[in-house]
Amino acid sequence: MKIWSVKDAVTIRKPVATIGIFDGVHVGHRFILEHLKARADARDGASVVMTLWPHPRIVLGRDLQQFKLLHTMEEKIRELQKAGIDHLVIVPFTREIASLTACEFTREYLVDRLGVEVLLLGYDNKFGSDRKGDPEGLAMCALKDDFRIEKLPALLSEQGSISSTTIRDAILAGNLEQARKMLGYHYYLAGIVMEGNRVGHQIGFPTANLHPGDPNKLIPMNGVYAIRAELRGEMHEGMLNIGFRPTIDSASEVKTIEAHLFGLSDELYGEQIVIHFVKRIRDEKKFSGIEALKEQLKKDETTVKQLFQLS
């Protein structure tokens, strides 16, 4: 997949495009992407995804205390590459762009800069300051600027309506299986391993203290999780705690993300790690002391290993 900034001199032969945020690149998005690739192949052209970054809600300051992303840009690129898209065109989103009508945006960015021939839109796709970025609202614009619009039907899913918002809600509620079905994969979180206070080493459960790479990335609800972790090109099973470590740091106000990877005791400081959340095991809670915590961690380890069928 070739990645462009819309500010580049973009040269794409016979582009068939769609536009969207694609936060999470979930099952609903993949429905659009599969149709996009099929349309591009039928025209002997190229599949093109145009996306806005940063997320408009962040740029426009909407609900910043509550709103978090399913994907960083790096993660979005990763999923779009896996989906087999030919070109990704990134539009650096600004308040000025936010002021453009759907037709103005389409003409400037999709027609003049990209030379779009066919624009695919989801059944509920809307963009532009006038919210007319849908097949009906863009009909006259398409006629004037000589491109064709194709509207896709709604995806019929066992999960009902699939959206980035419903997936965020599921993750924040600890419903990882529901989120996985809508995403099409286990939710994941990337970051760098930072040095902690080494209490885990002292009690026999060494942990990697994860610092997320993007402050806007969605962190699942507090609790203990069964995870798989990508590290140094390999996958490791383990368990992870998100929370405030009430047994160890009773007065802590800083949330931590600590992963214990089975069979791995190496120092991991500075390493890049990707955590895939498989299942939420239990709530985080305060124990009577370190020994009680150790006993619970042993039970957690047994539970997670049984889940992964590890000896």
Are 243 and 222 in contact, with CB atoms under 8 Å apart? yes
- What backbone phi and psi angles, to 5 degrees, belong to 59? -65, -40
Please check whether residues 14 and 127 belong to one and the same domain.
yes
Please check whether residues 146 and 59 belong to one and the same domain.
yes
The pTM of the full predicted model, rounded to 2 decimals, is: 0.92
Asked if the structure places residue 263 within a domain, the reply is yes
Please check whether residues 139 and 192 belong to one and the same domain.
no
pLDDT value of position 200: 65
Please check whether residues 137 and 205 belong to one and the same domain.
no
Please check whether residues 83 and 220 belong to one and the same domain.
no
Asked if the structure places residue 43 within a domain, the reply is yes
Please check whether residues 89 and 8 belong to one and the same domain.
yes
pLDDT value of position 160: 76
Closest to 51 measured CA to CA, from 75, 15, 76, 30: 76
Asked if the structure places residue 34 within a domain, the reply is yes
Asked if the structure places residue 117 within a domain, the reply is yes
pLDDT value of position 156: 75
pLDDT, tens digit, 9 for 90 and up, residues 180-224? 999 999 999 999 999 766 666 667 788 889 999 898 999 999 999
pLDDT value of position 28: 94
Please check whether residues 14 and 139 belong to one and the same domain.
yes
pLDDT value of position 250: 53
Total domains in the fold of the chain:
2
Please check whether residues 204 and 140 belong to one and the same domain.
no
Type of residue at 25:
V
Please check whether residues 26 and 145 belong to one and the same domain.
yes
Question: Which of 93, 126, 151 is at the close of a domain?
Answer: 151
How many CA atoms are closer than 13 Å to the CA of 20, on its beta-carbon side? 28
Asked if the structure places residue 164 within a domain, the reply is no
DSSP string, 263-303: T--S--TT-EEEEEEEEEEE-----SSHHHHHHHHHHHHHH
Q: Which residue has the tokens 């992964």?
A: 308
pLDDT value of position 311: 55
pLDDT value of position 310: 80
Asked if the structure places residue 159 within a domain, the reply is no
Please check whether residues 27 and 113 belong to one and the same domain.
yes
203-222: burial string, b at 16+ Cβ within 10 Å, e else: eebbbbbbebebeebbebbe
The pairing of beta strand 46-53 with beta strand 15-19: parallel
Asked if the structure places residue 97 within a domain, the reply is yes
CATH number at residue 218: 2.40.30.30
Please check whether residues 79 and 136 belong to one and the same domain.
yes
Question: In sequence order, what are the residues at sequence separation of 6 or more whose Cβ sits closer than 8 angstroms to the Cβ of residue 192?
Answer: 210, 211, 213, 270, 271, 272, 273
CATH number at residue 64: 3.40.50.620
pLDDT value of position 252: 55
Asked if the structure places residue 39 within a domain, the reply is yes
Question: Which of 102, 129, 151 is at the close of a domain?
Answer: 151
Q: Domain of 211?
A: 187-308
What's the CA gap between 222 and 254, in Å, rounded?
A: 12
pLDDT value of position 66: 79
Question: Low-confidence residues of the chain, pLDDT below 50?
Answer: 251
pLDDT value of position 195: 78
What's the CA gap between 69 and 217, in Å, rounded?
A: 5
Please check whether residues 142 and 247 belong to one and the same domain.
no
Question: Which of 126, 151, 176 is at the close of a domain?
Answer: 151
pLDDT value of position 288: 80
Closest to 15 measured CA to CA, from 44, 56, 45, 52: 45
